[in-house]
A and B are shown apart, each in its own frame.
Chain A
Amino acid sequence: MASKRKYKGIDQLSKRDKIVVSLMVIVPTLLVLWLVWFPAVGTVLLSFTNWDGIGPLSGIKPVGLQNYIDIATIYPPFWPAIQHNLIWLAVLFFIATPLGILFAVLVDRGVSGTRFYQTSIYLPVVLSLALIGFIWQLIYSRDQGLLNAITGGTTDWYGDPDVNLWAVLVAASWRHAGYIMLLYLAGLKGVDPSLREAAKIDGASETTTFFRVILPVMRPINIIVIVVTFIESLRAFDIVWVINKGRNGLELISALVTQNVVGEASRIGFGSALATIMLLISSVLVVIYLRIAMKED
């Protein structure tokens, strides 16, 4: 009987326990291996081949870096997409994220009605970016949009390739700032209040206190916020896909990959090479994130 077993510490396992523990690890591991890691490796491998997506897998020939060369030279949307992703990153990094941090600091000062302010600012976070693209159409639409109604202009904010990226970025920043505020607020609440006291006694102004005391002790959350910003800009997809499937001024790498797979002309090699570039960039971010998130262990 189990109860008569000699107690040998909490890690002792019966035969049945061992099977249960193994299953608890193996089942989720296999699922993630199958649907995340195996496809990730597959993407990288396919990017070096000429598979057209129709023939059998045995007909695949390696073509070296040809797909990458083609992307860079004869695939017109590629460089605009890179540029747009970088602009996306720059706007989130230099505008939306600092704005979110500023909001967090303001809300954290604890004036009355904080709950209302906090709630209003992060309300967009619960909406999908696809829906956000839709809601902002009420402001941006050419014929009935609020923006044109006020300014009397005739700009098609979602359609004009000169302005649509910026219009979309306003909407994306609207959500991102709320998200960052939420993350940062949690970090601020964890800061030891005695630090603030000490700085105050030493006669530091509030601005100095924030930049010299609070910001440095929030280092882990700062890095998380930065990595989240990078990942979000790399993953940006929903909002442009909803608007025009990532064409005509709204090219993003994620949208190009999808176009190459789902669209009429499926170019697997192309798509895979683009996807591999995404994986490469994200792997750097993932490593940074993991190092911070799991530092304690």
Chain B
Amino acid sequence: MSVTSNRADEGQQRLIKPHEGGARSGKRWLLPLALTIISLIWLFPLLLALVNSFRDYAFTAQNGYMSWGGFTLDNYKNAWSQGDFGLHFWNSLIITVPAVLLTLFLSACVAFVVARFSWTFNIALLGFFLAANLLPPQALLIPVYRMFRAIELPFWFSESGTLLNSFQGLILVNVAFQTGFCAFVLSNYMKALPKELYESAVIDGASVTRQFFQITLPLCRPALAALAVLQTTWIYNEFFWATVLLQQGDKYPVTSSINNLRGQFFTDNNLVAAGSVIIAVPTLVIFFVLQRHFVAGLTLGATKG
């Protein structure tokens, strides 16, 4: 029934079952060794940041990074206060959560219509959304920027008085860009649902709204979960639009506030490391706790379910 969990199960089985023609007996150690070396090289920059974020600047400045010792938590305390992370995490939260929810809802609507009804313009519609997701955002900057600056909003709605410099504007842009990918993934998923489900619903007189909320959405839970995880990571990591559309440093979400941090921390690399780790924590938590969903979301788009 669910594409995602089947896929994951398959993955698990493949992990357990070694390939028949795999490592030949004589060189069985070679592949694990190579993979271990590659993994360690790949982890190295992150481990370097992690270790040094816990070390005293004076100590590493004197003994160099190849030394050991001088452990402290001060970098985190300083990075947190100098980077004003409390504020920026809050900004990230009130941008990311509505943007992800809105993206999922709107893309589920589009996907539902495309998958549920067989109309001629379905493919064109999906293409219209998916292509939007692939355009380079910088190429659209000028009109978006000018429009946002020209659109005036009441002050109770946006402090800046325009869509520029407002969280609402940024959320809308993120939603517009991400809807295509999600609609594409969800429509593939919804097409796999048996049509008979709707048949009995229609005979029972269920409206389209009820079909959508009570049949389709619950069945799409695995795909929605995967996309929610992926989109949360992407929108949290989104740098470009936040940087250009929110021009006040105090409105920046965490990822864009990196730039502010840089000037202040330039001379102290251990502080930079601590700041980087703080910024990475939410995505790393998502990654380790919800890894299955993250991978499923990313690969659902590339290989059809």
- Binary contact readout B14-26 vs A (1 if CB under 8 angstroms, 0 otherwise): 1111111111000
When C-beta atoms are compared, the residue in chain A nearest to B34 turns out to be A106
- Binary contact readout B222-261 vs A (1 if CB under 8 angstroms, 0 otherwise): 0000000000010011111001100000000001101101
Contacts of A241 in B (CB 8 A): 239-240, 243, 259
- Binary contact readout A115-144 vs B (1 if CB under 8 angstroms, 0 otherwise): 111011101111111110011111101001
Question: Which residues A12-69 have CB closer than 8 A to chain B?
Answer: 12-14, 16-17, 20-21, 24-25, 27-29, 31-32, 34-40, 42-43, 46, 53
Query: With A and B bound together, what is the CA distance between A4 and B253 in angstroms?
Result: 54
Check B66 against A149 for contact (C-beta < 8 Å): yes
Check B49 against A237 for contact (C-beta < 8 Å): no
Check A121 against B42 for contact (C-beta < 8 Å): yes
User: Smallest Cβ distance from B300 to chain A, in angstroms?
Assistant: 9
Check B130 against A290 for contact (C-beta < 8 Å): yes
| Interface flag for B177 (CB, 8 Å) | yes
| Interface flag for B134 (CB, 8 Å) | yes
Contacts of B279 in A (CB 8 A): 131, 134
Check B299 against A182 for contact (C-beta < 8 Å): yes
Contacts of A258 in B (CB 8 A): 138, 141, 240, 244
When C-beta atoms are compared, the residue in chain A nearest to B188 turns out to be A296
Residue among B7, B18, B184, B262 making CB contact with A134, cutoff 8 Å: B262
Residue among A40, A119, A135 making CB contact with B49, cutoff 8 Å: A135
Check A174 against B131 for contact (C-beta < 8 Å): no
Given contacts A3-B204, A275-B139, A294-B123, contact A126 B286 (CB under 8 A): yes
| Interface flag for A285 (CB, 8 Å) | yes
User: Smallest Cβ distance from B133 to chain A, in angstroms?
Assistant: 9
Contacts of A276 in B (CB 8 A): 139
Contacts of B109 in A (CB 8 A): 24-25, 27-28
Contacts of B259 in A (CB 8 A): 241-242
Contacts of A134 in B (CB 8 A): 258, 261-262, 272, 275-276, 279
User: Smallest Cβ distance from B61 to chain A, in angstroms?
Assistant: 7
Contacts of A238 in B (CB 8 A): 239-240
Query: With A and B bound together, what is the CA distance between A282 and B134 in angstroms?
Result: 8
| Interface flag for B48 (CB, 8 Å) | yes
Check A21 against B208 for contact (C-beta < 8 Å): yes
| Interface flag for B146 (CB, 8 Å) | yes
Residue among B138, B184, B261 making CB contact with A278, cutoff 8 Å: B138
Contacts of A46 in B (CB 8 A): 142-143
Contacts of B73 in A (CB 8 A): none
B: contact size bracket: 35 or more
| Interface flag for B156 (CB, 8 Å) | no
| Interface flag for B176 (CB, 8 Å) | yes
| Interface flag for B70 (CB, 8 Å) | no
Query: With A and B bound together, what is the CA distance between A228 and B183 in angstroms?
Result: 18
When C-beta atoms are compared, the residue in chain A nearest to B11 turns out to be A189
When C-beta atoms are compared, the residue in chain A nearest to B132 turns out to be A36
When C-beta atoms are compared, the residue in chain B nearest to A134 turns out to be B276
Check B143 against A119 for contact (C-beta < 8 Å): no
- Binary contact readout B183-222 vs A (1 if CB under 8 angstroms, 0 otherwise): 1100000000001001100111101110010000000000
Check A13 against B208 for contact (C-beta < 8 Å): yes
Contacts of B15 in A (CB 8 A): 110, 114-115
Contacts of B165 in A (CB 8 A): none
Query: With A and B bound together, what is the CA distance between A268 and B14 in angstroms?
Result: 54
User: Smallest Cβ distance from A258 to chain B, in angstroms?
Assistant: 6
Given contacts A36-B176, A293-B184, contact A111 B32 (CB under 8 A): yes
Check B172 against A35 for contact (C-beta < 8 Å): yes
Task: Give 16 new A-B contacts, CB below 8 A, not counting A24-B112, A235-B138.
Answer: A10-B202, A29-B110, A31-B172, A31-B175, A39-B140, A106-B35, A110-B15, A115-B15, A126-B294, A130-B237, A138-B49, A150-B66, A171-B45, A234-B136, A257-B139, A297-B123
Nearest 9 pairs between A and B by C-beta?
A: A128-B237, A186-B299, A42-B143, A3-B205, A2-B205, A39-B143, A120-B39, A35-B176, A24-B109
Give the interface of A toward B (CB within 8 A).
1-5, 7, 9-14, 16-17, 20-21, 24-25, 27-29, 31-32, 34-40, 42-43, 46, 53, 103, 106-117, 119-121, 123-131, 134-139, 141, 144-146, 149-150, 171, 174, 178, 182-183, 185-187, 189-190, 196-197, 200, 206, 209, 220-221, 224, 228, 231, 234-235, 237-238, 241-242, 253-255, 257-258, 261-262, 268, 271-272, 275-276, 278-279, 282, 285-286, 289-290, 293-294, 296-297
